[in-house]
Amino acid sequence: MSASLERTTDCPLPSLGEDLIRVEDSENLTGSNEFCWEDGGLPVELQRGMETLRVNRELTDVVLCVQGHDFPCHRTILAAASQYFRAMFCSGLKESYEERVEIKGLDSGTMCSLLEYTYTSRALLTHSNVQRILEAASQFQVVSERTKPRVLHFVSEVFLIIGGCTKDDRFVPTVTCLDPLRRSRLEVARLPFTDMEDESHNRKWVEFACITFRNEVYISGGKETQHDVWKYNGALDKWIQVESLTTGRWRHKMAVHEGKVYALGGFDGVQRLSSVEAYDPFHNRWTQVTPLAGRCELLCCCKLRQMDLRDWWWAQWKTGN
C-alpha cells in the first residue's frame, strides 16, 4: 500500500543471534558516520499482521455496513490507504466516531475485494467483477503507487472497455475509456459497422479478441466477424481495417511478441483450433506459424520475460492452469 513496498532489499534478515549493524560501525562500510538499513521483509509481515487482525476482528474500531453485510475494519488502515476514508475519518465528520458506517453505491462483494486489496495488496479479478472493482477503487481513491497508471509527459495510462454485453444479454457496441486518475469515464468510439443507418446491416462483435500495440487497439475475429481485423488509431479517431485472418476464429486470444501481433487458438464453428498466425504490421500480412501443442479455446496467453508465448501456454496447459 505504501511506496515503501517498492523499496525492498535482497539482504537476508539477521537471525536473533546476529549483531545488527551499529551506526558507529558503519563508517567503515560507507565512508560516512551514518548507515540506513531497510528491512525488506517488514512490509510483508506488517500486511500479514493487519489482515490477521481484521479476520480475527481484533482492535477493529469501525464496522462498514454494505447491503446488510458487516465488515469490521481499522480506521487508521483505511485512512492510510484511501483519501476517501481519510477525509471521512479525519475531518471531524460524524463517521469519525460512529461505530457503524453505512456505505452506499457498491455491492458487498466489491467491498470485500477492496478490503482484501487494502489489507493484503491482492485482489481476485474476473470478467464479471473487474469493472465494478475499478469503478469502486476510483470512487474510494484506493490507488497505490504499485497500481495507479503511469504518467509520462502529461499522458496517463487508462483502461479501455471494448464492447461486451449487458446483464440482459444486449450487445454493447461502444469503446469506453476509464481514467482512474481523473476518475472519469468517457465513450471514445464505437466498434466498426455498429452505427449503420440500416440497423439490419450492423455487426455484432461478440467473442472477439483485442490487444493494444504501439498505442493502437487491435480487434480480431468474433462469432459474426470471424476473419475481420481492425485497429483503432486514437490520434485519427478512426478504425482502420487491416489484412484479414487466414483462419476465421472466435474465443481466441491475441498477444504481442517482438513487433508482431499473434492470434492463438480459438473456435471456428466446428472444432477448437491449435493454429497460430502472426501479423506483420509493416507488410500488413498474416502468416501461419508453429501451432499450439493442443487445440484450445478461451485460453490465456502473455509474454513472460523472454519465454516464448507457445512455451508458456504449453506449460499452463500441461499443469491444468
What residues contact residue 74 under an 8 Å CB cut-off, 6+ apart?
50, 53, 54, 59, 60, 61, 62
Mean pLDDT score, 137-149:
64
Q: What confidence score (pLDDT) does residue 121 get? A: 85
pLDDT, position 261:
94
Mean pLDDT on 62-78: 94
Summarised one tens digit per residue, pLDDT across range 38-55 is 666 778 888 889 989 999
Cα–Cα distance, 278 to 224 (Å, whole number)? 21
- Cα separation, 121 vs 119, in Å, equals 6
* Structure confidence at residue 151 (pLDDT): 53
What pLDDT, on the 0 to 100 scale, is given for residue 168? 79
What confidence score (pLDDT) does residue 22 get? 41
Question: For the segment 198-216, what is each residue's pLDDT rounded down to a tens digit?
Answer: 777 888 888 999 998 888 8
pLDDT at 102: 93
Joined together, the cell numbers standing for residue 85 give: 476514508
Asked if 181 and 149 touch (Cβ cutoff 8 Å), the reply is yes
* Strand-by-strand arrangement of the 276-280 sheet: 253-257, 260-264, 276-280, 285-289
- Determine the pLDDT at residue 5: 34
d(C-alpha 191, C-alpha 23), whole Å: 63
User: In one letter, which amino acid is 262?
Assistant: Y
> What mean pLDDT do residues 23-30 have?
45
Q: Which of 128-132, 139-143, 289-293 holds the top average pLDDT?
A: 289-293
pLDDT of residue 159: 80
Q: Where are the alpha helices (DSSP H) in the chain?
A: 27-30, 42-55, 75-81, 83-90, 108-120, 130-139, 309-319
Instruction: Identify the band that residue 312 occupies on the pLDDT scale cut at 50, 70 and 90.
Output: very low
pLDDT of residue 74: 94
Higher pLDDT, 86 or 317: 86
**pLDDT surpassing 90 at residue 279:** yes
Q: How many residues does the chain have?
A: 321
Residue 6 has pLDDT above 90, yes or no: no
Decide if pLDDT at 3 tops 50. Answer: no
How would you classify residue 169: left for phi > 0, otherwise alpha for psi between -120 and 50, otherwise beta? Answer: left
Whether residue 14 has pLDDT greater than 70: no
pTM of the model: 0.52
**Residue with the larger pLDDT of the pair 312 and 94:** 94
At residue 236, φ and ψ (nearest 5 deg) are -90, -15
125-134, 289-298, 305-314: segment of lowest average pLDDT: 305-314
Overall average pLDDT of the 109-119 stretch: 91
Instruction: List domains and CATH numbers for the chain.
Output: 41-148 (3.30.710.10), 152-319 (2.120.10.80)
